[in-house]
Each structure stands twice: as C-alpha cells, then as structure tokens.
Structure 1
Amino acid sequence: MHVMQRDFQVTMQLLQLVLLHSAWEMGSGQLHYSVPEESQHGTFVGRIAQDLGLEVDELVPRMFRMVSKEHKDYLEVNVQNGILFVNSRIDREELCAQSHICIINLEVILDKPLRVFHVEVEIRDVNDNAPIFSENEEILSVAESTLSGAHFPLEGASDADVGVNAQLKYRLSSTEYFAVEEKINDRHSKSLVLVLKKSLDREKIPVHHLVLTATDGGQPELTGTVHLEVTVMDANDNAPVFNQSVYKVKFLENVADGILVIHLNATDLDEGMNKELYYYFSKHVSPNVKNIFSIDTHTGEIRVKGKVDYEDINLYDIEIEVKDKGIPPLSGHCNVIVDVMDMNDNIPELSVTSLSVPVPEDSPPETVVALISVSDKDSGSNGQVSCSLWPPGLPFKLVSTFKNYYSLALNETLDREMITEYQLVVTVQDQGVPSLSATVRLVIPIGDVNDNAPAFAQPSYTVFLKENNPPGAHIFTVSATDPDMAENALISYWIDENLWPLSSYISVHSESGKLYALQPLDYEELKLLEFQVSAKDAGIPSLSSSVIVQVFVVDENDNAPTVSGPENAPVLLVVPLVAGQMVGKIRALDADSGYNAWLRYELHEATSGPWQVGLYSGEISTTHVLNEMEGDGSSQNLLVLVKDHGKPIRSATATLSVSLVVTTQASHTDGHHSRVGGSPKPFAENTNVYLIVAICSVSSLFLLAIIVYMALRCQCQPKEGVVHGPGTATLVCASEVGSWSYSNRHSHILAGATGEAGAKNDLMVFSPNIPAFVENGKVKNGKEMALNASGQVSLWKGFSFFHLALLCY
C-alpha cells in the first residue's frame, strides 16, 4: 500500500511537470529545452539551429552567437552542426538554490540581418544531495515528571534537491519511550517533534541514546542521520510557557539599527529560582539570522542589529527558547515570523546587449540597431518598469520584444549628409513611490553610402586664354564637391578622349581638376574650344556629373600687316592735277583682329612732294594743284608705312612709283591707249568724271553705313551674363566701340560636343581694352568681351556696307 501511494505521488508530480513545461512553452513563444544537472561536458541538449529554422551553413556567415547575461559558460553551440550542448558542469543547487523551476535564459543573436531568439533551458534536478542534519548529535533534557504525549522540537534535516528528491521521511531507532512525528502548523509548514510515548524513570534509564534517520524520495534513496541524547532530569515540573506559540511581525526593509521587532513574554508557574527565565535564540537559528537580529536574554526584546533587505530574505522564521533556573532547568519554545515588506530601494538596471553601428544611411525603417534588456530587483509595482527614448522626434523607436527586452529600431529613413550621428538617452523607470530610474547614453554614427553625385558650382565655365601660350600651361581649374565621405567623396576628372582632335589641345588632371593647354593656341586658327569635363566619385556604384567649359582664345598682335598686290608698280599721272585728287590706293591686310588688325597709313618722313595718304583708307592723293611746271616727266617713289594698333605696334612698307606727264605731251598721242595708273590713255578727259562718281558713291555708301550703324546701336540691348573667371561677361554695345575693323581670314571654332569647324568673313565689334583672359593659369582683369546668348563672341555676319565702300576703291 505504501509503495502504491508513493508511485501515485511520483506520477502526479511528473504530470505536473509536463503540464508546467507545456504551459511554459506556450507562454514564452520561444524554444524550451531541458537537461539534467551534473551532465557531462558535451551532453546533447537540442538541435537549436534546426528548431529555429536556420541552415547550419549560414551560422558562421551571419555571426551566430549565444548570449547569457548571468550564465556564460554552462552551455555552448557547435556552429558546425547547430547542436546545443553542455559546456561545463551545472550544479542546480548552486544555480537556483531551492527554486522549483531552474531556468537558464539564452539569447541567440544573428547579424546580417539582425535577429534575436530567446531560448530557455530547464535544469532538471537529480537526487545528488543526501539529507543533512546541522549537527551530528543533539542533546535533550527531559524531566522525569513530564507527562506522556509531551512534544520536544527537533531540527529537521535539509536536502538541497527539490521536488520528490527533497521530500524527507524520518524514522527513529527502536524505543518504547519516544517517537518522531511531523506536524503541520498554521503556516502550512512542517516541523519535526520528538513525542514522549511513556513516562520516564530516571532511576531506571537516566540517558536514552537514539538515532534519527532522514530519507529522501529520490531514486536511489539517500539518507542522513543524527544521534539524539535524551537526559532524564529530576524535579522542576513546570516549564516556562509563551502566551502564544507563533508571533507574526511586519515591518519595512532598510529599518535603522536598534528598532524593536517584538517584546516576548513567557510565564512559569513555579516559584523562586524555578521561575526566573532567560530568553535565547534556539540553536536551530542560523548565524545569518543572528547577524541581523538580537535578543535581550532578560527582557525578551528582539531588535534589529543588521541590514534587513527584502531582496535578500523577505521572511524570517525565528525559533525562540526560554529556560528557567530550576534544577534541572525547563524550557519553552515559540516561533517569531518576521515578514519584511518591500521598499522601492533598487534602481532599475539597463544594459545594451548588442549594438550594430554605424547604421548605413540607406537602412530601411524597422531595422534593429540595438538590443536592450531591463530589470529591477524590487517586487510588485516597485519592480514594474517601462522604457522610453529621449529626445523625441528622432528617427528611432523602442519596440518591446520579450518580457523585459526591447529593440531599438529605425522609425524613418536616414540622411548622413544632414546628420552624421545621433545621441540617444534610453531611460528605464519603475512604478514605485517615489519612482526610480536609470539611463544609458547611446551614440549612433550614421554610415555613408554613395547617394550623392559630384556637383559643380555652376553649369558652365568660360575661360579667356591669350594665344601663343606655352605648351602645358595651366589655364583653369574645375572643381566639383561631393557631400559624401571617404571614397564616396573621392572625385576624379576626365575629358572624353574620343573627341579627337580635342585631346591634342586640352587635358585635365584627374585628381586636381586643373586644365592644361597641351600646345600653343593660335587665334587665327582656333577661336573657341568647347568641351565637357566629367567628375566621378569612387563609390560603388560610382556617380558622375559634367560641366561645359568654353575656352576663348584671345588675340595678340603677332601678325604684321601685309600689303596686297605688286609693289613698285609705276603710276603715270597727267598734269595739271587738282588738289585732293586720288592718284592711287594702298591695300593691306592684317591676320589679327580688333585693334591688332586696325590699320593706319603714313607717308615716310623721307617722302617729299605734294602727296598725302588717307590715315585709314590708304588712298594717296595730292595736297595742292599740280601744274605743268611741276610735271617734268620725272618719277617719284612714295614710301608708305602701314601700321596696326596692337601692342607692340607692327608695321609694313609699300612703295608707289609715280610719273608725272604734262598736258602738251598728251596732245601728241596717236589715239592709241597706254596704261596711266591702271586707266586708258585719255585719262585727263575722264578723270574728273571718275573722281566725282567715286566720291559720290563713297559718300552715299558711307552715309548709309552710318544710318545702319545707328539703327543697330539703338537695337543693341545687354544680354544675360556668362560666367568667366571671377566675374560675368556682358554684351558690349556699338557705342562702347572705339573703331571698326574688317578681317578677311578664316575663323575656326573647335567644339568638344560637335567637333565642327567653320569659316567666316566677319565684321567684329571690339573694345579698346583687352577682355578678361587667362595667362599661366591665372585669370586677369580686363573689360568684358562681348558674348552672345550661347556664350560665344558676338559677331555680325555678312558683307557690310562699309566693306562695300572699301571695295569701291
């Protein structure tokens, strides 16, 4: 019958454990394993990778790791096969003391992406601890006058195991006088007593030697023993008695030393010495209790003398013994139950178990940045905590994941170029009165991704460069900026090398953006280089942008005037000649442009005679009337200097040979024609008519040209500026021009975008000052060159009236 009852109890206990295990797994929603304590190293616990739905070959790349806040080395995972095994000896009693359920909480963390799993490993108890009595021998004194049925408290054995393994049964060695019993008091706790079954006779047996054996309920059973020595005493037949067997006291933890806990009072019906009482802590009281409480042996006052901490022990069961001074002395017993009430005296604890920084700026919302665990040693509302984030408005949020675990996750997208790092304060606060809190400061840097292309300060650049520059001259520097960092902001520059022959004129330094002219540029051959410079960062993938660069070649006075037509051709003139009559015309051209091509004509100082030359027309005419007396048939050589307006001035000379013939010689001609200044012989008869017609034509055309010029001047409006160097280029109107000049030559524009080149016959408006230009890589100040809407030098195309007037000569 006894065996069947024990089997039934074991079955019920196993059923309770199974139900508790199932409820635990349903409540936690995570993995739950169990392993017996004292398991050897390498003992299999579970296939954790398989149970979590993970592939074994992804454990190492995803940085699989297992974190245990309090129990770091008991369990380990083999990342080669995903098996959870015992790493070191586990003593359940050392780990969880007398707790019925012993759990090791594990956090399984994987990165890329970050995931966390919670695993509970229950440590099952094995019967590895035998019952132990605090002493090997216990001595009792019992008066022979004690009646049958009297109880004498005994100290029971303790078993460090739990459950069935800690359920103890006691048996006493064979005797007819005593028996051992377990009593259940009003606190529903068991106490062990020695019961007197038969009256004692000191003269027959003065001392009884007994053996008390405790047996646990484990398999196999383990036992512990204590020797009892019961001395039979004579006389003093009234023992002290407390007014109640159990006293209950409540007070808050952290009370000051010396505070009165309770004042005990016992009575004795005897007289004299047998009535004088002394109060003691029972020898069964642990030293820890004696370090916290003290008792006055004469008054029975119990006071606090040490630190009372609810988190250490919240309930004290103190056994008090009172003895009289009789011979032999008699004693009484009572229990004082001290219930310690909790105060909010523990600050919540906050720890960051995982922090993944820096956070890439392209991380999507809900990305987990950190894992945070919180705890509070207090109980009730004093131990209930909440977690918050400060300051508000940041792109982060706290998400409760499991019990007292939180994850710090992104709440919105990030931009490193706006904010490079965030400083957060995570606060945990309990609900006690007054409330206590703890904080931790997190610095979260933002990682850069290549999301910004290099940017130039302006969409295009205009550069003015004097011709005949030295090879390899630095003419300009383009610069782009990238708000990214590191290699994402490392910029390189290049020009499309496929645009030949552009690559033979211009190059760019890949790191500095400096533009170099690879060969001297000739304004007479090339006026404009237009190309595109691209900037690319070193990010993956790389981003790029481009800018248009226009290099205008500025003319220098590097060409001397050239006289067209044969020199020293003789000119025959028939005298008399009227004053101001044109006798010839010097035609010269200059390959330069602007002031450098504006020519003027002068007679050499050595030239004498009645001659003059038009300052800008090159027309040679008489200064006064020539009569027959001056026409002696001799010839004169007129030396004409042709100069430009450049700096330095360049010049050329032309010689005109003039022969004068008097009228009488002309009268003897035979009617045949001969060459006189390129005209038929009867030149004198038609000279006046030709001169009048020429003068009228020139005057009319010149007047018409002035009218057209004034109309164009009135229509000329300033246009939008084009950036060049430190300033902007604006349209220069005709009123600002010092003079006109015609350049009959080829004009070339080399554009990197189209590769086209064209020839033009242009009438150009120019300013007396040189426009801004680049020399040796430096932008120099000057008047702004006239530009059209596309950023090129403004030109009037076509054949002007002034050009027609010049051709009439």
Structure 2
Amino acid sequence: FLLNLNAKLAFIAVAMLFGRAVWAQIRYSISEEQKDGAAVGNIAKDLGIDHRTLKERGFRIVSTSGESMFSLNQNDGVLYVNGKIDREDVCERSIQCLINLKIALENPLEIHYVIVEILDVNDHSPLFPENEKRLEIGESALPGARYPLQAARDPDSGSNSVQTYKLSHNDNFRLEIKDREEDGKIPILILHKPLDREVTKNIKLVLTALDGGRPPKSGSIEIFVDVQDINDNVPVFTKEAYTITLNENAPVGTTIVQVNATDLDEGKNGEVVYAFGNNVNYNLRRLFEVNSITGEIILTDRLDFEMKDKYEIDIQASDKGIVPHATVKSVIIKIVDVNDNAPEIEVTSFSNAIPEDSRPGTTVALISVTDLDSGETVLPGARFQLQAARDPDSGSNSVQTYKLSHTDYFRIEIIDRDEDGKAPVLVLQKPLDREITKSMKLQMTALDGGRPPKSGTMDIVIDVLDINDNAPDFTKATYTVTLNENAHVGTVALRVNATDLDEGQNGEVVYSLGHNVNYKLRKLFDVNPITGEIIVTGLLDFEIKDKYQIDIQASDKGIVPLTTDQIITIKIADINDNPPQIEVTSFSSAIPEDSKPGTTVALISVSDLDSEINGRVTCSFPEDIPFKLMPSSQENTYSLVTTSSLDRETISCYDITLEAKDAGQPPLSSVKSITVQVSDVNDNSPEFSFSPYAFYVMENNAPGKNLFSVSASDKDTGENSVVSYQIWRDGVENKYTSFININSENGEIYALKSFDFETVKTFQFQVVATDSGTPSLSSNVTVNVWTVDLWVPTYCTLHGIELEKYMLKL
C-alpha cells in the first residue's frame, strides 16, 4: 500500500463446549498527513477471511477511540483513512499515538483488535512564545548567575520535537540545557564573564531551537540584555590641575573658575554635585563658595594680597548613588597684588616676658571624625579624605605624620597642603564584603615632630553597606511531595524556603512560578510570594497526570533583583474516585433458540480509570439464567455465552443486569442492563385441533360447496408458524379423494362431485398441515367422512290428511 505499515498478527482461539469465539490483533503504522482515502491495510487478507463473506457477516468497526478517522470497506476488507490525519490534533504531546479499533464479524462471532499507530512527520518548526525577550541584569551579577528562559514548543513528538538550543556568539554568556522529561528541554542563560555597563550597555543575543528532523527545523528568539547600572565609578575631573590668578581687588560675586567632573555611571549614579572638601576651613568658606550644580567657584568676600597671596581649596565631586562616590580636586587661586596700601609702621610691645624655656607646640585641640560609612561596591584605590588634626604649635612641632592601626583593607596616605598642614586620606586596598565583615573599627594617630613627639588619636568606625551581590539560596536541594488527587482547592502541597545573605531589601526573598511554568500548571498551582507555600488552585486528577514538575523562582527585592530557580516534584496519588465502566458490544438483535451451549452472545469490556488495586475490576450477573461470562485473552474483556439450550416458546427474552465492581476501599461499582432476545427456529410442527376428524355429508350435494374444515396451529412465530394444508395423496389409488379438495390457506374442504349414498357410504383420507419454516415441519390427521342418505318419500294419512314422509338413513 506504499505505506510504512507493520502488521503483526496474534491469533488466540478460545474453544467453547459447542461454540467458539475468535480474537486476533493486528497492528499497522501509517504516517500522519495521509490523503483522504489512503489505504491503511487489508484487514480481511491479513486475518485470512474470505472477502466474499464480509457483507453477509456484518464486517464492521464496533468500537474505537477514533472511528471517524477510518472506514472499513465490506467489499475488499481494506481499512481506509477518512480525511487528513494530523497527529498533533489526535495525540497532543503523546509519545506514542495509538488508535484502537475493534472489528467484529458474525456467524460465527469473531472479534479483532486493530491498532493503528500514527507516525509523526516533521511538519512543525520549533516556536518560542515570544519573538523577543528582554532581560535586565545588573552589572554586579557574579559569574555563574543563571537566568532560565522560556522553552520553545514543537507540536511534533519524539526526535522531531525540540532537541537542542544554540546561542549566538558572545563574550559574556553561555547556554545550559536542562531536560525536564515531559516538559521538554529548557534553555538556561548563564553569565560566565562579568558585565560592565560602561563598556557595553546592551547585548543582543539570538537563541535558536532545533528539532531532530532530517533536515532539522528551527525557530529563534532575540534576547536583549539591558545591563543595569550599579554605582561602580567615581566622578573624574576633566582637568588634572586647576590654577587661577585673581586680582586682590576682584569684586564679590566674581566667578573665579568652573570645575567639571564626569561619572560613567547613569541615572542618579552618574549625576555629579560639587561641594567643599572636608578640610576646607571656616576662613576659606567665608571667602569662597561653590555652586553645587555647575561647579562654579564664586568670590564671596574681599581679598587682600597683603594678608594672603595664595589659596588652595579642596573641591569635592560626588555622585548621587545610594552609596555615593566622591573625588577631591585641589584648586589653587593665586592673588595678584595691586597698589592699594600705603606703607605703615606697626609697633607691638609685650607686657609679659616669655620664659626662654617655654616649649612650643602645646596641643590645644584635636578635631576628629568618629564615623565613616562605605559601600562593598567600592573598588580598591578608592580614597576617603579625613579631617586633619590641628596642633597650635608651629614648625616641626606641628602635625607631621599619621599612623593607622593594622588592617588588611585600608592604608593611610598623607597629603601636604603647605600652610594648611598635612591632611590624611584613607585608601581602600582590598575589596569589602559585608557578608564577611559588617563593620570594622580603626584607630588613626596624629603625631607631631616634637622630641618626644606628642600624639592624638581618632576612632574610625566603618559600616560596610550592603549591595545586592548574593542570590537567594534554597535550603533544600530537592523538593518532592505526594498529594492525593482529591486534594481540595487551597491545600498547601509543600513549602519552599530560600535565604539571602544580603540585608534589607536585598535580603528579602519573594517567591513566584518560574517563567517556563505553562498556563495549565498555573491553573492548578500557585505559590504564596511571602511564605513560599505551594497551593492547589485547581482540580487534580491522577487519571490525567500523575506527576508535575514545577519551576519555583526565589527573587530578592534589590534594585536589580537576583533570582534562583528550584524544581519541585509533586506526585499525585490515586484514590478510588472512578467507578468501573461497562461497554457491551452486541452482535445480533437476537440469538437463535437452537444455539448450542457456549455460543457467544455479546462481548463485554470493563474498564476503570483508576490504577493498581483501585483499577482492578470484576464483572458478574445473576446465576439463575442460562448464560455465563467467559474471560478472554484481552484483559478486562469477557464473552457472554450460553450455558444450556434455549427455548423461545418458554422464555423469549432475558433482561440481564451486569455489575462491575473494583477492588478499591470502599469499592465502587456500576451496573448495565442488556436485553437478549431469543429468536425463533422452526422446532415445532403444526398441531391439529382434533384427531381424528369426523364429518357427515348429505348425498346429492352441489359440486364446489364447502363441506367442512380442519384447523392446525404452530407454536413458532413468523414464517415458522404459517400453516398450509393439503390432502395426502401417497400414490395409492384412493378414488374417493377425487371427490374433494382443500383450501391450502384455511383448511376448508369442498366437494368436487356430488356424493351418492348408494355408491359411497363412508370413506377416509389424510390431511397434511405444513409450516413455512426452513426446513418445514408437518403433521397429518385422519378425516372420516359419512354420506347421509335421503330416501324416497312415502305417503301416509293422518286424520284424513295425506302427509309426505321422509326417512333419514345413515
């Protein structure tokens, strides 16, 4: 048939006492998309059945899971395709697509099971739910971070379904494929090289899904990765040095210079504001101010060259990040003298003498900073300017150096500001990790140059601020739970739990269903975003599916959230919630009453959608009838057969109630009533109402006149009970039978001649009553006939009256 067919015959003959029923099984394979009328296989030929008897024996499909897809030709026994078959419509997402047909013949009864396997052809390409996918990934994401993607779907099955994925070439991501069994293969995007938004803001990837066809079909999706900024860049001044010359008579409000700094970050992280550095003293702040937005340094008081001819001002540029980064730049303003002062002579006398052994450098005060916050995103080399210690002494007796207590994370750097003294700068030399060290306490010591030197100390407390650098971590490697299929809506199946080492919003975990959880699963299950409880939201049915794998996603609440996925397995336990089903296939409207014991009347199939013990079914019916159930080679299939002879004239109809009961606790059962009609066979001969018959006939009767009638009845029905009559003429000469004849339909006997008493006084003959059965049955009856004589009249006188007198002679 130019088709890929595989026919396997397995014959099982079940011999009964006086009758038989035959079962056979055939399997064919055809590819989907066959044209209407394509031949599947010659069932009659494969079973060895004479095709000339097919119509007579009622060759037909009696039960099927897809009867409308096939037709059976009673002339040649070939099974044909009805219309175009699309495997994806018939057996959606099934590994094997099997159509079961039940074929029956009568006289004798034969049941044949035909399995048609619909083979998949690669007629579909993989298809993603969307044409493009946009991901937002923070540049703080660490290598190894995983991002599950939605899988492509291919309606084809087996090797023609999605087999692999390919990712376009890139430097930052690689692809991992996870096999989820029934849910197919899931692509997971994995970061293997850190992202840097300042280098690449956007990355375009192409994910291609390929099936296993030859040649393979494919589908693709564009993935746009938007790299989310973190505050990992400090502002940078556009000039290495700012040196300005300004006349001492410059008016108040003069814009001296405009500094400018840029930050490679974006948003708030890249917005720069300006301010004086921490070490700018009151006198400088009185003379100058800085515009926080524009960076303009403006003169706010009069200058005097004779008081000071140069100013060095620290300008700090900071971004607006949650943990701001700052850079300090020194601006040098040189004052130009103008001739605005006449010579003066000033004499200062002291009222008290100074002892010659007075020591200079007495410490008056030390100004210190007691707290310094920092963020764990700060990179090594980051600088934090500290306020300098003050020493009223001068020269070598003033502050000469600073020392920092031992630490692996910071070192101290000293900047000489000439007249403003030496300023300490704290420099980060090792990355911070809040999850290891949340805070640290340092001590900085300022030393002057005296002999011996005097010192002052300051405690520096560093609180390491959290960034979102830890993804949630599930507390269990696997989650598996078993749930009864009758679990009520609202039942908590299990609770997942994930923790996050970060703090605050970065450490708060919320739960959701993963991106690859399809619509059907979302109708059955939901997850509480706060508690992680997996809740039943739909009706579970073991008979539809006995196991679910659900992707649960745990995410933190960071500005750029980090996520982790975990697969949970929910196994559905069967309960006895389905009663058995009874299917009865009757092969004739009635069974002949002369059927031999063991004759098959009908085929009975029982089924139960439950599994194991809940699906074990027994079938029974009352024992006081001449039938029994015989198990067949097919599981849960019985033949209803006769156990003794039937007599339609005694019982013409049997109403049988079948009961199917499963083995569950408590057991469920169902009943089905079938009616077996006993059809008549010609097993009764006609019976005459009298035997023998005796009749009297007047002589001299008129020919053609009805003389008398006989009557017979038959207990059978239909044609078998229709009686016809005839006079038995067995070849022996009986001259008297020529005097009469009989109506074959009603048994009325009429004269062919006139009777004469003197010639025929009495005679007898046989009447045969025959039914219309095949073969016909008959019975005889003897009919005795006497002729009545009417003798010659005589005359007599009575009271003078002459009377005519007749005498009847027998």
For each residue in 1:233-278, what CA deviation from the matched residue of structure 2 results, as whole angstroms up to 9, or x when unmatched? 4342222222124322211112222222223333222222223333
Contact 1:244 1:334 in 2 (8 A): no
Paired residue secondary structure (1:512): coil
For each residue in 1:304-353, what CA deviation from the matched residue of structure 2 results, as whole angstroms up to 9, or x when unmatched? 22211222222222222232222222233323322111122222222334
Distance 1:89 1:372 in 2: 32
Contact 2:67 2:101 in 1 (8 A): no
1:388 to 604, 612, 620: 620
Aligned: 1:132 with 2:364: no
Match of 2:91?
A: 96
Q: For residues 25-424 of structure 1, what are the structure 2 equivalents within 5 Å? A: 30-67=25-62, 69-166=64-161, 168-183=163-178, 191-233=186-228, 234=230, 235-395=467-627, 397-424=629-656
Contact 1:252 1:341 in 2 (8 A): yes
The count of aligned residue pairs is: 557
Distance 2:685 2:799 in 1: 69
Identity percentage of aligned residues: 41
Q: What displacement does 1:221 show?
A: 0.7
Distance 1:86 1:472 in 2: 69
Aligned: 1:450 with 2:445: no
Q: 1:363 to 1:185 in 2, by over 3 A?
A: closer
Q: 1:423 to 1:516 in 2, by over 3 A?
A: same
Contact 1:143 1:237 in 2 (8 A): no
Q: What displacement does 1:42 show?
A: 4.1
For each residue in 1:416-460, what CA deviation from the matched residue of structure 2 results, as whole angstroms up to 9, or x when unmatched? 222222222333333322222333322222222222211224431
Give, as a single letter, the amino acid of the residue that structure 2 aligns with 1:380: E
Q: 1:81 to 1:512 in 2, by over 3 A?
A: closer
Distance 1:411 1:540 in 2: 26
Q: What displacement does 1:648 show?
A: 7.7
Identify the structure with the greater strand proportion: 2
User: Which deviates the most, 407-416 or 458-467?
Assistant: 458-467
Distance 1:475 1:223 in 2: 100
Distance 1:109 1:650 in 2: 80
Q: CA RMSD in A?
A: 3.8
Distance 1:85 1:188 in 2: 34
Give, as a single letter, the amino acid of the residue that structure 2 aligns with 1:311: E
Contact 1:372 1:405 in 2 (8 A): yes
Q: For residues 622-701 of structure 1, what are the structure 2 equivalents within 5 Å? A: none
Contact 1:450 1:542 in 2 (8 A): yes
Match of 2:661?
A: 429
Aligned: 1:548 with 2:796: no
Distance 2:571 2:469 in 1: 35
Contact 2:7 2:26 in 1 (8 A): no
Give, as a single letter, the amino acid of the residue that structure 2 aligns with 1:216: D
Match of 1:685?
A: none
Match of 1:804?
A: none
For each residue in 1:746-771, what CA deviation from the matched residue of structure 2 results, as whole angstroms up to 9, or x when unmatched? xxxxxxxxxxxxxxxxxxxxxxxx99
Q: What displacement does 1:483 show?
A: 0.7
Q: What displacement does 1:517 show?
A: 5.8
Paired residue secondary structure (2:64): coil
Identify the structure with the greater helix proportion: 1
Contact 2:8 2:26 in 1 (8 A): no
For each residue in 1:139-162, what CA deviation from the matched residue of structure 2 results, as whole angstroms up to 9, or x when unmatched? 333333333223332333233323
Q: What displacement does 1:118 show?
A: 1.9
Distance 1:543 1:31 in 2: 45
Contact 2:24 2:112 in 1 (8 A): no
Q: What displacement does 1:356 show?
A: 0.9
Contact 2:43 2:79 in 1 (8 A): yes
Q: 1:474 to 1:74 in 2, by over 3 A?
A: closer
Match of 1:589?
A: none
Distance 1:331 1:549 in 2: 111
2:771 to 537, 544, 559: 537
Q: 1:25 to 1:224 in 2, by over 3 A?
A: farther
Q: 1:224 to 1:386 in 2, by over 3 A?
A: same
Contact 1:427 1:437 in 2 (8 A): yes
Rg: which structure is higher?
A: 1
User: Which deviates the most, 284-293 or 549-558?
Assistant: 549-558
Q: 1:75 to 1:505 in 2, by over 3 A?
A: closer
Aligned: 1:513 with 2:747: yes
Give, as a single letter, the amino acid of the residue that structure 1 aligns with 2:203: H
Contact 2:98 2:117 in 1 (8 A): yes
Give, as a single letter, the amino acid of the residue that structure 2 aligns with 1:70: S
Paired residue secondary structure (1:168): strand
Distance 2:39 2:791 in 1: 97
User: Which deviates the most, 22-31 or 55-64?
Assistant: 22-31
Contact 2:657 2:674 in 1 (8 A): yes
Contact 1:348 1:428 in 2 (8 A): yes
Paired residue secondary structure (2:493): strand
Match of 1:494?
A: 726
Paired residue secondary structure (1:382): helix
Q: 1:174 to 1:476 in 2, by over 3 A?
A: same
Q: 1:510 to 1:30 in 2, by over 3 A?
A: closer
Structure 1, unmatched stretches of 5+, are: 1-17, 562-600, 607-642, 652-769, 774-809
Contact 2:555 2:562 in 1 (8 A): yes
